[in-house]
Amino acid sequence: MFFYRKKPDRWTLTKGKMIDSPVGAARRLARKKSPTGRGNFFYRMAFASFIGVTAYALFFSQLLAITVVDIQGARKIDPEMIKEEINLALSGKYLNFLPKNNILLVSQKQIKRLLGNRFKLIDNLEIKKKFPDSLLLLLVEKNPRMMLRNLGQDYVIDDKGIAYPRSDFAAEIIPENELVILEDISGRKIEGGEEVLNSDYINFILDTKARIKKDLNLEIQPLITTSSTAAGYITVETKNGWQIYLSRDIGVAKELEMLNLVLSDKISKEKTGDLEYIDLRTNNKIYYKFKNNEQQSGN
């Protein structure tokens, strides 16, 4: 007769300690790690619902839609024009289902490139996202100081001396009569985007124009010419038709002192109408010429 004997779940060691047999260990591990089918189903449903709700809230609801655009630093550029460009860029959807105005999907680099191409007066632009629905734009505008006319083309010169084509700027942003115009007659061709004038030369031109009127009460024409920007020369023409040659190296104060001296001591008011030019480009030396007469000089 054969009897079946159940295999023990545990083995007994000689010292009285118990250890698991392979069969018992496998049974207990299966009982611990096997969740019920119903629990597993609800867990998966809850997880899927969480993912769906989160995705909807982040990408499809209006919770993170851009509704506020705050612009700081705009002086000449109309902030409303900037907002219109941004709203236009953020309208529509990516792949026909992802809204472009979602703050998570907005590309700061793309907006910088867009506004930089549209508004040439922007010198620097920083964009910050302010959750959940705002953009903050911190911009610095270029500072137009004067106009440079070169071979028939007009350029706007900023405070760094960099030239930008006049056509890049709307007339309402930089009116024609607002800036001093310097015409370069040297024949040297310049390119937009390069530094063509240094700041000392720019300041010299602007100071000269302002102080001739203020200190000597001389009316001059709007257009100033130069035969050499490198040498720092300029020529201004009075409303009476005679010209004044000046140099940056001598300086505005010294040259106006010399000009006042020659107009007071050497040339009477009656004779100024016969003047062709006064040359102040040599330190402590004044050259002047009357129409149809030889050049004269004085100290």
Burial pattern 253-285, b for ≥16 Cβ within 10 A else e, equals eebbebbeebbeeebeeeebeebebbbbbeeee
**What pLDDT score was predicted for residue 1?**
46
Kindly list the structural domains of the chain, giving each domain's residue range(s) and its CATH number in brackets, ordered by start: 68-141 (3.10.20.310), 144-298 (3.40.50)
Q: Which residues of the chain have pLDDT under 50?
A: 1-2, 4, 9-14, 56
Residues in the chain: 299
The DSSP string of 113-162 is HHHHHH-TTEEEEEEEEETTTEEEEEEEE--EEEEEEETTEEEEEETT-B
**What pLDDT score was predicted for residue 250?**
96
**What pLDDT score was predicted for residue 13?**
47
Do 146 and 155 contact (CB within 8 A), yes or no? no
Do 149 and 182 contact (CB within 8 A), yes or no? yes
Q: In what order do the strands lie in the sheet with 68-72?
A: 68-72, 134-141, 122-130
* Residue keyed to tokens 């609801």: 61
**What pLDDT score was predicted for residue 49?**
60
